[in-house]
Structure 1
Amino acid sequence: MKDITRIVKDFSNEYHNIKDSKSGYTINKMPGNTYFIDDSNILVMPRDDGECRYPYGQKGFNFWAYSSGYMHCNEGLFSPFIRASEGAEPKIAFFAGIKDDERYRVIPLLSVPVIEEAEHLGVERYTIFTKGATYYITEYDNILFAVRVFVDENNQVYFTITAHNENEDKREIFISSYLNPFLKNAIVENSTDRWFRQVTYIDVKDVNKLGSFVVETYEELDRSSMKANYGVINRYLKLDENSELIKSEITTSRYKYVGGTRKSLHTPSALYNGTFGEHQPICTFTETAIAGDLMRLKLKDNARIDLTLGYCFSDDKKNKLLKEYTTCNNIDNLLQEIEQEEKDRQSRLDLTFGREINESQVKPYVLNSFFEHLKKQVEFCSVIKGYIQLSSFSLIGIRDVFQAIEGLLYWQPEVARDKMLEALNFIAPNGRCPRQYSLPKREGEPPAMDLRPFIDQGVWVISTISSYLKFTGDFEFLDEICGYYDIIDDKIHSVQKSHKQSTVLQHLFDIMDYLLVNRDHENTKCVCALYGDWNDALDGLGVSKDKSKEYGTGVSVMATLQVYQNLNEMIELLELLDANKYQDIIKQYKQARLEIEQGLKEHAVISKDNMKKIVHGWGDEKSYYVGSFNDPDGVERDGLTSNAFWAISGLYDQDTSIESTIIRAFARLDSKYGLKTFEPHFERGVKGVGRIPNLPAGTAENGAPYIHASMFGIMALFKMGCSELAWEQLNKSMPITHDKISCSPYIMPNSYGYNEEKCIDGESMHDWQTGSSNVLLKIFLKYIFGFQPEYKGIWIQPCKNIPFKSFDFSIMMGETEVIIKYENKGYDKREFYIDENRKQGTYDSIMKLDKLWLDKSLLVKDKIIVRVTD
């Protein structure tokens, strides 16, 4: 096993090879001064036009490492380290000092805080993200410094700081750490937090183990009681035999570290002097307590300092953490185990694209690495515990998590199963799904929920469970027992645990009933928008003209199409389970399906001058349309999602002549960065459409490529057999094809803004927590690689016009590895082989390609190889 110094030197070599290369390593370059390197690791060079980040942790614990050096973490609402705003003093910082006469040249070992004096010293910094850890590397004056951070499955955080002297002579330096933990159930700090925090230094008599810090924070449970949260920071020092520790200092006072009330980490007076002055082993109430140290060294070759932070909620556990002792080897071995577990977990789904056909296409090296991190993004979105955006209503979205799970289930079905069961416990007995839920902080305490009735929440549940059953064959899942929450007052988001429990299958019936009840039964038979649909910002369609009613008969066409799809999914499932037993429900669903189909064809498709449009929806009593020839603002407008779901839902299969209508809408919605959600945008003050006009033109859903929606459009294009158009849009939508991007270019952002007047050109609101990732993954699986599971088998249906000579795709389905090997040989007709035996394909007139049926009875071997040649 390589030690950390060897790993850092290897990263340094890769950095200099890329930096000094005249070609710029175009085969692995991404926007944002970012590169893929060996093992799909990510090298980020300094940038001031955006930020890259990576999350670490398991089961909903998220430790965020930013390329700038900002770090924060939370598990649901509990935040061991709170997030610092841009430009503010970080909560975690590391410094080095180089002796210069009587003072020290102070070098931040992260890009934050910015110390102006150090900016002009010729320091080189860069960041490496691996799937197990982040390495922050600083090169200065022939010393190679590194800070490595990772977390284990128990949410313990490990910081390793190393210094490698590349000179012959000893150097007098210091290394200093600054940790400002939060350890509370909150998303922002307030002025009283310092009153209820104490940091105490505990000395130890051990040559390798340095002293420890104990952080205590207290939270009020009620007027007469508080609970304690503890953090324990253990520290270890390892020097080569020719280096020595001159002096070790600590402080628990932020004032002592930065130099008083008027100063900050950007001006750390103590570090310039190389001393904190008076020893302060305890701090509380009067100022912010921190854990700070400073170790003065004579460095010959290598120095290494390790800090471990564990947190707990009892004295016994705190004392146990204090007594724990580890070694550098133990820490390195732990990281190696974490990285191997990560590799094993992700290996159940694998992809390799071969050489590109056209040199202007995205490079296969980049796309293959991008796919690996796309999987990580979908996993992240699936297992969240909420509060990712760190706002009061940043909970766990029902629609968000089920969409993500529909991607995750293809390589982590056990994890997907558990998360689905968790979420199903939070729906109401009538089948109404909350928009968002949270996990109760304590047993018996009602959880925070967002109860706004966005009509579409339940539709994603049904579709995801259908996909799960088709892939796994785990029909016992339908018999699992889940609970409910009674809604006490949806205006104040008040709920209580219901006494009712039922099976997963009954939950599906409940959800389906809720969706079918909330239709415009008297007129259009379509699904009412209520508070809104997937397009959150367009939340005005459901408002009633009758002031005494909250909701009217306004309709979401997208949600109606999804319910149409759900009815097909439920009918197919029930006929498979027991057609006789469920014949009455099947009959009811078939009648509802017919009514919805007729309602959509009659009311959702409008005509003018021999031109057709599929509208986004309409207001109460069809008083106005959105996405029509004449919207409430008097303009002709196209909407993306209703057109996309006309194809995705399967209604398109009934009459493919509407293809030209959909393609024409997509052409109008096209832009520099892909398919817009609406064209044109909504100006301020447009009536009847809700809050979408409050967004600046060309941002988010308001006339910009909101990429989640763009992905629906791309999926529809593949579904309709328009693969060339689909690939064109896919290239526009993936961040790896762009010249610049304001966030992490190796995973999917949520949007691309474009408004020249407001100087917006490609920027995104955020990354990581966005549904664009799971839709893209499903596009790759079902339409590009062509892996489409059904109840009795699998359709193998790689798309046409693949811009690569070949690809190798493998997935574990139960105990069988299914491998699809595709190659473009320039044949006139597609050929299929199963384990070298040629098989006859079936022409699909909807997707306009030949595909192969693979019966599940064949999945009895360890491996089955399907070769597809074009």
Structure 2
Amino acid sequence: MKDITVIVREFSKQYHDIIDNKSDYDNNKMPGNSYFINNNNILVMPRDDGECRYPYGEDGFNFWTYSSGYMHCNEGLFSPFIRAAEGAEPKIAFFAGINDKNKNIVIPLLSVPVIEENEHLAIIRYTIFTMGATYYITEYDDILFAVRAFVDKNNKIYFTIVVINDNNNLREIFISSYLNPFLKNAIMENSTDRWFRQVSYIGADKVNKLGSFVIETYEELDRSSMKANYGIINRYIKLDENSNLIKSEITTSRYRYVGGVRRSLHTPSALYNGTFGIQQPVCTFTETAIAGDIVKINVNQKARIDLTLGYCFTNEEKDELLSEDIWSSAVDNILYSIEKEEKDKQARLKLSFSHETKDSMLKPNVVNSFLVHLKKQVEFCSVIKGYIQLSSFSLIGIRDVFQAVEGLLYWQPKVARNKMLEALNFIAPNGRCPRQYSLPKTDDEQPAMDLRPFIDQGVWVISTIVSYLKFTGDFDFLNERCGYYNFINDKTHIVQKSHKESNVLQHLFDIMNYLLINRDYNNTKCVCALYGDWNDALDGLGVSMDDTKEYGTGVSVMASLQVYQNLNEMIELLQFIDKNKYTDKIQEYKKAKEEIEQGLKDHAIITKDDVKKIVHGWGDDKSYYVGSFDDPDGVERDGLTSNAFWVLSGLYDQDTSIESSIIRAFARLDSKYGLKTFEPYFEKGIKGVGRIPNLPAGTAENGAPYIHASMFGIMALFRMGCSELAFEQLIKSLPITHEKISCSPYIMPNSYGYNKQKFIDGESMHDWQTGSSNVLLKIFIKYIFGFQPEYEGIWIQPAKNIPFQNFELTIFLNDTKVVLHYENKGNAKRKFFIDNIEKQGVYDYVMKLNKLWIDKAVIYKDVMSIKVID
């Protein structure tokens, strides 16, 4: 493991090479004043029109670092550090003080808080995100400062502050740390938190140790008892042989640090004075208790301070954390192990391009690094424990997790397996899935759930499990036992653990049964929308015209198509595992499939002047259409998802003549930033469509590219064989191709807004937690690289018109490493080779390309090489 000072110097060199145009980093440039640098690391320079961020941690613990320097973390509802509002005083801050003519120049070592009086100084700042840690680097007056932050597997947080003096003179400086932990199960701070928090200082007992802080917070269990949460901050120092420690001061009082009730970290009085004055080793009740220090040192070449924060819930664990003694080399080795494990994990799925075609907007270096971090995003979305946005119903979404897991399973199948089993325990005995669930802390606790019956939740469960089985062949998964929850009251979200258990296959039968029961049996035979479908904001279709009923016969065409797809998936699965045993089920599903298919053909396709349109859905008793020639507001409207899923469900395969209608709809939905979810947008006050008109025009689902939906459209274009159009839309949807972006350009945002009147041009609501990531990854794997697993083999079907001459995919199919090479030599006919032996492909009339079938029986070697040459 390299010494941190060597790493920081390397980052500094790369930054200056970019600034001074001494390299070809233009080939690595992204929007948002950011660059991919060596080893897929990300360099972000300061900007005021947006924010980049990166999450660290495992198993649902999320430690967020922002390019501005804001940091926060949570595991479910428990937040060691709660998020500070934009522009507010941060909960974590580090400062340097340089003595200049008997006056302290105070320099924040993060971009927050802003100290206005120092803004004129020639301070250079930039942030580096690696897969294991974030580095905040500050350069001033021949001194290089860096703050490194990361978290280990036990959720312990590590901060390392280094000072590198290139002045050749001994410099007197101080380093100050300010930590304001939360350590509670809550979504926000309140005025009484200070009453139940105490911070105490315990002096140093070892040579390299600067002393420790103990944070105690208390949470009420009932009227007569409380539980304690403990946080332990240990502090260590390491100096070169010609540097020395002058003195170390501490305070547990926020008032002493900032200068009283009227001040904040933006005006830290103690730092200007270079001292806290009176040392305060304990603080509680009357004000906010914090952990603050000032460490004065003479620095010859380099100095280093390490802080660790671990948390626990018993006195015994607290004492263990306090007695820890860790050297700087051990901290570095912990990070090295984390980064090595991440590298090994990434190696199970590698996707890379080379030699872009002429006039391509995609640069291989940028795309290849982007794909590395896209996988990280999919993993993040798969293993979440909820409360990512820290709101009451920011729980674990059933549809969200299963969609993400369908991407994750291609390189972490065991993790995907465990998450699916976790989620299956939260469905009702009748097969109804909650919209969201949370993990109870004890067996007796009833979990928080969002019980609004969005009809589509279960469809994603079936499709994902089928994808898992096709890729892994792990049919023992179907025999795993899972429980259920009884949904007692939808309105108050009350649930109760059921005594019933069954295997995964029975859970699939239950889910399928719930979906089939909720159909418009008396008329269209299609699936009722109930509360809504995947388009959350369009949640009005299911409302009943009968005041005595909550839900009517309004239909979601998207959900109906997905259930049609599920029926095909279940029929294929049952025929594969035991067609004789499941004859009755297969016949039941075939009958339902035929009914839904006919209902969709009869009611979802409407015609006017010989022009066909696939509608989004209709209201109770077909009283109105949405996505039709005449919507409730009297306008003609197109919707994206019904058109996309007509293709993705497989219904398109029966009659591809509908292609021109779908392409016409996509053309109307096209925009500067890709395919919109609806065109035109919904004006305020439109009846029957739910809350979507409450969104500003050109934002989220209301007439903007909601990128998750855009991905469905792009996937459909690839499946229709319209690869040129698909790549055109893909390029528009990727953040790396834009001039600017309001959040992290190296992973997928959730949307691009566009409304000139409201000065919105490309901004997004948020990034990281969005399903656009997993659909994009599946597009690359299944349709661009063309790796499509089935029960008995694999289809190799790379797309046409790929904007690169070469690509390589490495993926592990159980114990076999499969390496797929592609090269475009401009041949008239596509050729396939397995281990250098030419194989004959077949033509797919739907996808309009030649593809190769590989039977799984021949996949038994340690390594299999597949070549496709165009």
* Corresponding position of 2:256: 256
Give the match for residue 37 of structure 1: 37
Residue 328 of structure 2 corresponds to residue 316 of structure 1: no
Corresponding residue of 1:475: 475
Task: For 1:427 and 1:178, locate their aligned partners in 2 and report how far apart those are by CA, in whole Å.
Answer: 44
Q: After superposition, where does 1:525-540 map in structure 2 within 5 Å?
A: 525-540=525-540
Correspondence for 1:241 = 241
Unaligned runs of 5+ in 1: none
- Residue 442 of structure 1 deviates from its aligned partner by 2.5
**Residue matched to 1:384:** 384
Cα distance in 2 for residues equivalent to 1:49 and 1:390: 23
Equivalent residue for 1:423?
423
Equivalent residue for 1:455? 455
Partner residue in 2 for 1:225: 225
User: Superposed, which structure 2 residues align to 1:173-188 within 5 Å?
Assistant: 173-188=173-188
Equivalent position of 1:634 in the other structure: 634
CA deviations 1:201-248 (Å, max 9, x no partner) are 000232211100000000000000100000000000000010111110
Q: Determine the structure 1 residue equivalent to 2:269.
A: 269
Q: CA deviation at 1:858?
A: 1.3
Instruction: Give the gaps of 5 or more residues in structure 2.
Output: none
Q: Could you tell me which residue of structure 2 aligns to residue 753 of structure 1?
A: 753
What is residue 806 of structure 1 aligned with on the other side? 806
What CA deviation, in whole Å up to 9, does each residue of 1:19-51 have, x standing for no partner?
A: 111887320000000000011000000010000
Letter in 1 for 2:54: Y
Contact 2:17 2:23 in 1 (8 A): no
**SS at the partner of 1:201?**
strand
Residue pairs, 1:345-364, within 5 angstroms: 345-364=345-364
- Cross-structure match for 2:169: 169
TM-score by structure 2 length? 1.00
3-state SS of the aligned residue for 2:689? coil
What one-letter code is carried by the residue in structure 2 that aligns with 1:866? I
Root-mean-square deviation over aligned CA pairs: 0.7
Query: Partners of 1:282 and 1:359 in 2: how far apart?
Result: 65
Look up the match of 2:858.
858
Equivalent residue, structure 1, for 2:770? 770
Deviation at 1:634, TM superposition (A): 0.3
> What's 2:718 paired with?
718
Aligned length: 870
Is 1:148 aligned to residue 148 of structure 2? Answer: yes
Residue 645 in structure 1 maps to residue 651 in structure 2: no
Structure 2 Cα separation of the partners of residues 769 and 854 of structure 1: 35
The answer for the alignment partner of 2:515 in structure 1 is 515
Instruction: Give the aligned residue type for 1:72.
Output: H
Three-state SS of the structure 1 residue aligned to 2:702 is coil
Deviations 1:686-709 (A, max 9, x none): 000000000000000000000000
Give the distance between the partners of 2:214 and 2:101, measured in 1 at CA: 35
What amino acid maps onto 1:144 in structure 2? L
3-state secondary structure, aligned to 1:805: strand
Residue 138 of structure 1 corresponds to: 138
CA contact (8 A) 2:360 2:803 kept: no
One-letter code aligned to 1:161: I
Match of 2:583 in 1: 583
Query: Deviation at 1:351?
Result: 1.4
Q: Name the amino acid aligned to 1:234.
A: N
> What one-letter code is carried by the residue in structure 2 that aligns with 1:255?
Y
Cα deviations by residue, 1:803-861 (Å, 9 ceiling, x for unpaired): 10100111001000111100000000000000000000000000000000011011110
1:600-679 aligned within 5 A: 600-679=600-679
Partner of 1:464: 464
Query: Deviation string for 1:345-380 (max 9, x for gaps)?
Result: 111000120110124321000000000000000000
SS in 2 for 1:763: coil
Q: Counterparts of 1:161 and 1:858 in 2: how far apart (Å)?
A: 55
Contact persistence 2:428–2:487 (CA under 8 A):
yes
The SS at the match of 2:355 is coil
Cα distance, 1:725 vs structure 2 = 0.1
Deviation at 1:441, TM superposition (A): 2.4
Give the match's secondary structure for 2:818: strand
Q: Deviations over 1:235-274 (max 9, x none)?
A: 0000001011111000000000000000000000100110
Partner secondary structure for residue 159 of structure 1: strand
The within-5 A match list for 1:823-838 is 823-838=823-838
State the alpha-carbon separation in 2 of the partners of residues 372 and 446 from structure 1: 38
Residue in 2 that maps onto 1:294: 294
User: Do residues 393 (structure 1) and 393 (structure 2) align?
Assistant: yes
Partners of 2:536 and 2:257 lie apart in 1 by: 46
Please list the CA deviations of residues 763-798 of structure 1 after superposition, one character each: whole Å capped at 9, or x if unmatched.
Answer: 000000000000000000000000000000000000
Q: Partners in 2 of 1:359 and 1:390 — Cα distance?
A: 44
Counting aligned pairs with the same residue, the percent is: 77
1:356-412 Cα distance to aligned partner (Å, 9 max, x none):
012432100000000000000000000000000111100000000000000000000
The 2-side partners of 1:452 and 1:421 are apart by 22
Moved more, 87-96 or 577-586: 577-586
**Residue aligned with 2:729, SS:** helix
Amino acid at match of 1:730: L
Alpha-carbon distance in 2 for matches of 1:689, 1:358: 45
Equivalence for 1:78: 78
**CA–CA distance in structure 2, aligned partners of residues 381 and 276 of structure 1:** 44
Hey, what does 2:303 align to over in structure 1?
303
**What does residue 784 of structure 1 align with?**
784
How far is the alpha carbon of 1:310 from its aligned partner? 0.2
8 Å contact kept, 2:684–2:693: yes
Task: Give me the TM-score of the superposition, normalised by structure 1.
Answer: 1.00
Alignment partner, residue 20 of structure 1: 20
3-state SS of 2:804 partner? coil
- Aligned mates of 1:614, 1:16 — CA distance in 2: 54
The residue type equivalent to 1:781 in the other structure is I
Distance in 1, matches of 2:173 and 2:139, equals: 14
1:407-464 per-residue CA deviation (whole Å, 9 max, x = no partner) reads 0000000000000000000000000000000001223100000000000000000000
Q: Hey, what's the Cα distance between the residues in 2 that align with 1:117 and 1:485? A: 58
SS at match of 2:256: helix
Where in structure 2 are the equivalents of 1:193-204 lying within 5 Å?
193-204=193-204
State the distance in 2 between where 1:526 and 1:360 align.
43
Amino acid at match of 1:490: D
Aligned to 2:101: 101
The amino acid that maps onto 1:61 is F
User: Hey, what's the Cα distance between the residues in 1 that align with 2:78 and 2:699?
Assistant: 32
In structure 2, what is the Cα distance between the partners aligned to 1:495 and 1:251? 46
Letter of the 1:209 partner, please give it: K
Could you give the per-residue CA deviations for residues 551-610 of structure 1, whole angstroms, max 9, x where no partner exists?
A: 000000000000000000000000011111110010000000000000000000000010
CA distance in 2, matches of 1:246, 1:553: 77
Question: C-alpha deviations, 1:85-141, integer Å up to 9, x for none?
Answer: 100000000000000233200000000000001211110000000000000000001
2:407 partner SS: helix
How far apart, in 1, do the equivalents of 2:442 and 2:394 lie? 19
Secondary structure of the 2:6 match is helix
Letter in 2 for 1:411: W
Counterparts in 2 of 1:379 and 1:203: CA distance versus 1, 3 Å: same
Q: Find the residue that maps to 1:441 and give its secondary structure.
A: coil
How far does residue 480 in structure 1 lie from its aligned partner after superposition?
A: 0.2
| Letter matched to residue 60 of structure 1 | G
State how far apart, in whole Å, the 1-side matches of 2:359 and 2:276 are.
Answer: 58
SS of alignment partner, residue 257 of structure 1: helix
Find the counterpart in structure 2 of residue 279 from structure 1.
279
Residue equivalent to 2:492: 492
| Distance in 2 of aligned mates of 1:358 and 1:701 | 34
Report the Cα distance in structure 1 between the residues aligned to 2:172 and 2:582, rounded to whole angstroms.
80
Shift of 1:187: 1.3
Q: Secondary structure at the match of 2:545?
A: coil
Letter in 1 for 2:432: R
Aligned AA for 1:248? S
SS in structure 2 of the partner of residue 295 of structure 1? strand
